[in-house]
Amino acid sequence: MSTGSITIVGTGIKSIGQLTLEAVDVIRAAEVVFYLVADPLTAQWIRDHNDKARSLEHHYADAKRRIDSYRGMVDEVLESARDGHVVGVAFYGHPGIFVYPSHEIVRRARMERITACMLPGISADACLFADLGVDPARAGCAGFEATDFLVHQRRFDPNVGLVLWQVGLIGDLTYRQEGYDPRANLDRLARRLTTDYGEEHEVTLYEAAQYPICGPRIERMPLSHLAEAGATPISTLYIPPLASARADSKVMEQLGMKPEFIA
């Protein structure tokens, strides 16, 4: 039986500074480190701290389906663990959020009785809550990938905060080195949201800061202007609640709560 193991970590959103102590230890101690990160400084830091570091970026190819690239990454990592190596894998952001390979690596490794685990990292929505001053515990918060939101006609409560990820990639499942043109499909998203919020409801296009010397992108606009906003592959859309939800007095009474408990 293989004596290899796999530990998957996240590097956070901001270059180097959001690496957790756990992630640093994993990267330094691994016999082999695979990485897929969003900026060259983090990639260089990983290589500086482990001379057995290998990028997974070579699995991407122009117009190739992202799912096919991800499957190649999974196979490469698992092959190293089957050879008995202590493997570390570092992904951008939180390794469990919008990272198909990380979940598939853990699933398949455990099927093969290879020890595998995932450690948390700082995600884009964690940065969004801090930068926009949003407390998801106040009015609640729902989140969807933007293409999934449209294709599956997801149901949601407009009186709850709504986070839509990858609004700059709507409808495109490939990798495009030259970039993406989100305008037409952003307009479709805006029309879908307008049925619940109206054209003048203010929304925020958000991108977390990637470098310590840069600030986040926080662009507020009426929903009717969304298609013109210039979303990128890392853009997230935040839609604040339309109105405050009404408390159910009967349920409050059953719970022994007084009206003043609800702010």
Given a cut of 60, is residue 95 above it in pLDDT?
yes
Q: How far apart are CA 229 and CA 218, in angstroms?
A: 11
The answer to whether residue 254 is domain-embedded is no
The answer to whether residue 262 is domain-embedded is no
Q: How far apart are CA 195 and CA 240, in angstroms?
A: 15
The answer on 98 and 180 residing in a single domain is no
The answer to whether residue 206 is domain-embedded is yes
**Whole-model pTM?**
0.88
Residue type, 138: R
70 catalytic? Reply is: yes
Q: Residue range 93-120: average pLDDT?
A: 96
The answer on 190 and 101 residing in a single domain is no
Residue 185 and residue 171 in contact, taking contact as beta carbons nearer than 8 Å: yes
The answer to whether residue 263 is domain-embedded is no
Q: How far apart are CA 33 and CA 49, in angstroms?
A: 10
Q: How far apart are CA 244 and CA 233, in angstroms?
A: 32
Q: How far apart are CA 127 and CA 207, in angstroms?
A: 9
End of a domain among 102, 118, 134? 118
pLDDT 10s digits, 238-254: 999 999 888 888 898 88
The answer on 130 and 50 residing in a single domain is no
Given a cut of 80, is residue 167 above it in pLDDT?
yes
The answer to whether residue 204 is domain-embedded is yes
Domain that holds residue 207: 124-239
The answer on 138 and 84 residing in a single domain is no
Tokens of 134: 């949003």
Q: What is the dihedral of CA 21, 24, 26, 30, to 10 degrees?
A: -160
Domain count of the fold of the chain: 2
CATH of the domain at 33: 3.40.1010.10
Residue 47 and residue 16 in contact, taking contact as beta carbons nearer than 8 Å: no
Place of tokens 């992630």: 23
The answer to whether residue 245 is domain-embedded is no
* Given 47, 54, 66, 71, the catalytic residue: 66
* Given 35, 60, 92, 180, the catalytic residue: 92
The answer on 87 and 16 residing in a single domain is yes
Given a cut of 60, is residue 2 above it in pLDDT?
no
* Given 35, 70, 180, 206, the catalytic residue: 70
Residues 6 or more apart from 225 whose CB is under 8 A from it?
Answer: none
pLDDT 10s digits, 68-86: 999 999 999 999 999 999 9
The answer to whether residue 260 is domain-embedded is no
CATH of the domain at 218: 3.30.950.10
The answer to whether residue 30 is domain-embedded is yes
End of a domain among 84, 118, 152? 118
Q: How far apart are CA 51 and CA 44, in angstroms?
A: 11
Q: How far apart are CA 79 and CA 59, in angstroms?
A: 15
The answer on 188 and 168 residing in a single domain is yes
End of a domain among 100, 118, 136? 118
Residue type, 233: P
Provide the pLDDT for residue 51: 96
The answer on 79 and 19 residing in a single domain is yes
Q: Across 2-16, 115-129, 235-249, which has the greatest mean pLDDT? A: 115-129
- Sheet containing strand 141-145, edge to edge, reads 141-145, 161-165, 236-239, 202-207, 217-222
Q: Residue range 171-194: average pLDDT?
A: 75
The answer on 221 and 155 residing in a single domain is yes
The answer on 112 and 32 residing in a single domain is yes
Tokens of 8: 């998957």
pLDDT 10s digits, 47-74: 999 999 999 999 998 888 889 999 999 9
